[in-house]
Amino acid sequence: MTAMTSSELAANRRDIRPGRIIIWTLLVIGGLIMITPLLFMFSTSLKTAGQVYDLRLIPASPTFANYVKVLGDGRFMQWFFNSTFIAVTVTLSNVFFDSLVGYTLAKFEFRGRYFIFLAILSTLMIPTEMLVIPWYLMSSQLGWIDSYWGIMFPGMMTAFGTFLMKQFFEGVPNDFLEAARVDGLNEFTIWWKIAMPMVVPAISALAIFTFLGNWTAFFWPLIVTTSKELYTLPVGISSFSAESSIQWELIMTGAAIGTIPTLVVFLLLQRYIVRGVMLAGLKG
Amino acid sequence: MASATAKQGAGSTRFWDRLNMSTKRVIWAWTFLALPILFYAAIRFYPTFTAFWLSLTDWDLLRPANFIGFANYQKMFADPVFWKVFQNTFLYLLVGTPVSLIISFVIAYYLDRVRFMHGFIRALYFLPFLTTAAAMGWVWRWFYQPLPIGVINGFLSTIGMEQQPFLRSTLQALPSILVPAIWAGLGFQIIIFMAGIRAIPSTFYEAAKIDGLGDWAILRKITVPLLKPTTVFLVVFSSIGFLRIFDQVYNMTSNDPGGPLNATKPIVLMIYQTAFSSYQMGYAAAQTVVLFTILLVVSLLQLYVLREKK
């Protein structure tokens, strides 16, 4: 570490202050504490039942036996598929509809525009928890209980996404759209082919947020699913863990299976994800 | 969506051509909005009214709902469990929000100045944000177990400290659940704070340095005041999160949800149990109306208080 800091010295003279080194060290220690639960989760998922009581972080003889066992009966595969399918579908729907509505509200002039905007925005004030009972009632009347559609329908469009996209479409210069209009393109093509490519950072921010939100969603999927085949990964992990009672190595394996995909995606797309979160947080 | 053109059809092409540019655009706009308007009406507004209506009924899934006035509310306000839950919910909020914001601000403030391995350190803090609360609830639950299983008690015994009951104690259980809830949200708040800090124009800092202000004075007089919009956003966002806490509590106390002795039960868990364990749908709807009111009041209050000082 000392050697590294001295190389930084050339770049920034202030870095040689001892205070800086202490702060850097504290930040790294804090960061390691942050991932300790994840490290222990992975470590224990590689231990046998007998080694669980050995609290060392590095397993004495790491084994993938737990993964073979947990994945073996196919339940986790099914839940993994359900979660992925649901999160991808809902994300695509949000990218399409939230952008379309945001674009319309930002770039079209018509009577009632402001009213529609306020009406959509006001739904941000309504908590999901208040809607679940009516949704449940609606789902049981329409036969949506225990179906993919039943899990997905409440999130197909969101006010947050619409608002975010509207903000960004307002920054698209009208000249481009007018030029396309003169060229005889129809409005749908102008939106899809001209305007959409100009707000790609916003689209990716929206996609990341929607995907993550649906991938980790627990409350509504817990309510609307009754058969295990339709569980999402979080609901599956929860029920699997409750069943496994005190077999902590299996519980940690289940939790790890639920965590690995997002961690891998993050490591691959770190820059975009952090930027997307910043964009969504600041504009949203 | 291309239905706008299709709708005009072959026969009425002439009609469509005769419309002027702005009329055509209005038709396009409403075509784009048609399905979304239907969605918001059916999936957001109609259910909101249904929730208010159900809260005035005795609906229990089996028999048709009867109007019973404010009986559900009377029952709720007379129920000591509700007040316990109410208190817990605000404990989550009043401890969780300030603690998580202070920690994340301090980390963001220093992390912003670190250049060496910046991305790596940032990733360490951000990773927990990407985890699933349902899965992490179980990891933390394992951490809190008594010896010889629990990691934290194992650590405490290594350094010669007394064992703690954590989730088994009515006093310690709520803070024990709050820790993972704060932990999971820190990464997001740090990123947003850093974005806010970076958005402050550097001219402010240069001017302050010329005036000879020290780090502490710059922090107090420039960084914190100029971060107000970011702070307002994060306070509201994280408050709403803590008021709606559910996943962690449900998973960390699943053998006795909200226990021990309702010591950790937040309002959303109470709603869940009332609706989907005892099927008192009307009563649960009344509880959701209370949650709605709390969220509305808390966000309006915070917006008002934090905007005033600007």
A180 C-beta neighbours (distance < 10 Å), count: 18
pLDDT of residue B151: 85
pLDDT of residue B81: 93
Cβ–Cβ < 8 Å for A129, A123: no
CB contact under 8 A, A251 and B138: yes
A123 contact residues in B (CB cutoff 8 A): 40, 44-45
Q: Does a structural domain hold residue B203?
A: yes
Cβ–Cβ < 8 Å for B131, B188: no
Asked if B89 and B26 sit in the same domain, the reply is no
Asked if B13 and B81 sit in the same domain, the reply is no
pLDDT of residue A6: 43
CB contact under 8 A, A30 and B107: yes
What Rg, from alpha-carbon coordinates, does chain A have?
Answer: 24
Please write the tens of the pLDDT for every residue from A199-246.
998 898 899 889 989 999 999 999 999 999 999 999 999 999 988 877
With CA atoms as reference, report the closest residue to B131 among A210, A37, A85: A37
Q: Does a structural domain hold residue B60?
A: no
Distance between CA atoms of residues B185 and A156, nearest Å = 25
Q: Parse chain A into domains and list their residue ranges.
A: 2-67, 73-283
Asked if B28 and B164 sit in the same domain, the reply is no
B67, β-bridge pairs:
B57
Cβ–Cβ < 8 Å for B282, B68: yes
CB contact under 8 A, B26 and A108: yes
Q: Is the pLDDT of residue A13 over 60?
A: no
pLDDT of residue B12: 61
- Mutation to test the A interface, candidates B1, B132, B251, B283, most A Cβ within 10 Å: B132
Asked if B268 and B217 sit in the same domain, the reply is yes
Asked if B149 and B18 sit in the same domain, the reply is no
CB contact under 8 A, A34 and B127: yes
| Residue B158 CA from chain centroid, whole number | 37
pLDDT of residue A271: 80
Cβ–Cβ < 8 Å for A185, A193: yes
Cβ–Cβ < 8 Å for A16, A5: yes
Q: Does B130 touch chain A (CB under 8 A)?
A: yes
Distance between CA atoms of residues B122 and B111, nearest Å = 8
**And the tokens for A108?**
């079209």
Strands (E), A161-201: none
Distance between CA atoms of residues B48 and B227, nearest Å = 35
pLDDT of residue B1: 43
- Mutation to test the B interface, candidates A34, A95, A226, most B Cβ within 10 Å: A34
pLDDT of residue A16: 58
Asked if B107 and B30 sit in the same domain, the reply is no
B255 C-beta neighbours (distance < 10 Å), count: 7
Split at pLDDT 50, 70, 90, the class of A84 is very high
Residue B177 sits in a domain whose CATH number is 1.10.3720.10
Scan for tokens 């990407």, then name that residue. B130
Residue in A with minimal Cα distance to B273 = A223
pLDDT of residue B308: 59
CB contact under 8 A, A187 and B148: no
Split at pLDDT 50, 70, 90, the class of A11 is very low
CB contact under 8 A, A266 and B299: no
What 3-state DSSP class applies to B67?
strand
What Rg, from alpha-carbon coordinates, does chain B have?
Answer: 26
Q: Does a structural domain hold residue B87?
A: yes
With CA atoms as reference, report the closest residue to A187 among B12, B16, B38: B16
Name the CATH architecture for the domain at A73-283. Orthogonal Bundle (1.10)
What is the dihedral angle through the alpha carbons of A73, A74, A80, A81, rounded to the nearest 10 degrees? -170
Does residue A157 come out as left (phi exceeding 0), alpha (psi in the -120 to 50 range) or beta? beta
Of A132, A251, A258, the CB nearest to B142: A251
Asked if B166 and B210 sit in the same domain, the reply is yes
Q: Does a structural domain hold residue B156?
A: yes
Residue in A with minimal Cα distance to B287 = A130
State phi, psi for B83 to the nearest 5 degrees: -70, -35
pLDDT of residue A4: 44
Structural domains of chain B, count = 2
Residue in B with minimal Cα distance to A112 = B30
Residues of chain B with pLDDT under 70: 1-13, 307-310
Residue in A with minimal Cα distance to B141 = A248
**Average pLDDT score, chain A:** 87
Strands (E), chain A: none
Distance between CA atoms of residues A60 and B310, nearest Å = 58
Q: Does a structural domain hold residue B61?
A: no
Q: Does a structural domain hold residue B63?
A: no
Containing structural domain, residue B242? 71-308
Distance from CA of A206 to the nearest CA of B (A): 15
**And the tokens for A12?**
């920034």
With CA atoms as reference, report the closest residue to B135 among A249, A239, A255: A255
Q: Does a structural domain hold residue B202?
A: yes
Cβ–Cβ < 8 Å for B269, B249: yes
B295 contact residues in A (CB cutoff 8 A): 125, 127
Lowest mean per-residue pLDDT among A41-45, A62-66, B284-288: A62-66
Distance between CA atoms of residues A202 and A190, nearest Å = 18
**Average pLDDT score, chain B:** 88
Distance between CA atoms of residues B304 and B288, nearest Å = 24
Asked if B198 and B87 sit in the same domain, the reply is yes
Please write the tens of the pLDDT for every residue from B218-267.
888 888 888 888 888 899 889 999 999 999 999 999 888 887 889 999 99
pLDDT of residue B61: 83
ipTM over 0.90: no
